[in-house]
Amino acid sequence: MSEAVAHERVVEQLPKAETHIHLEGSIRPETVFDLAAKNDVELPEDSVEELVAAYDFESLNDFIDKFAFIPQILQSAEDFERVTAELGADSARQNVPYREVAYGYAGYDGLGVDWETVDAGIAAGRERAREEHGVELRFIPSIDRTADPERGVSIVEHVADIEADLGIVAVGLASKEQGYPAHDHARAFELADELGFNTVAHAGEDVGPGSVWNALLALDVDRIDHGVRAIEDDILVEYLAQRDVPLTTCPVSNVELNVYDDLSDHPVVDLHEQGVFVTVNSDDPPMFHADLNENYVRVAETFDLSLEDLVALAKHSFEATFLDEEDKATYVDRVEEAAEDLRADVAGD
Residue environment code for 42-74, b if the CB has 16+ CB neighbours within 10 A, otherwise e: ebeeeebeebbeebebeebbebbebbeebbbbb
> DSSP letter string over 287-317?
HHT--HHHHHHHHHHHHT--HHHHHHHHHHH
Q: Check: CB of residue 19 under 8 Å from CB of residue 246.
A: yes
Residue 278 forms beta bridges with which residues?
247
As to burial, measured by CB atoms within 10 angstroms (0-12 exposed, 13-18 middle, 19+ buried), residue 290 is buried
C-alpha separations of 115 from 28, 76, 105, 110, 174 in Å: 23, 11, 7, 11, 18
205 assigned to active site = yes
Q: Residue 138 contacts by C-beta under 8 Å, 6 or more apart in sequence?
A: 98, 99, 100, 101, 166, 167, 168, 169, 322
Provide φ and ψ at 17, rounded to 5°. -100, 160
Q: How many helices (H) and strands (E) does the chain have?
A: 17, 8
Selected catalytic residue, list 81, 163, 177, 205: 205
Helix residue spans in 97-185 (DSSP H): 115-133, 149-159, 163-166
Catalytic residues: 205
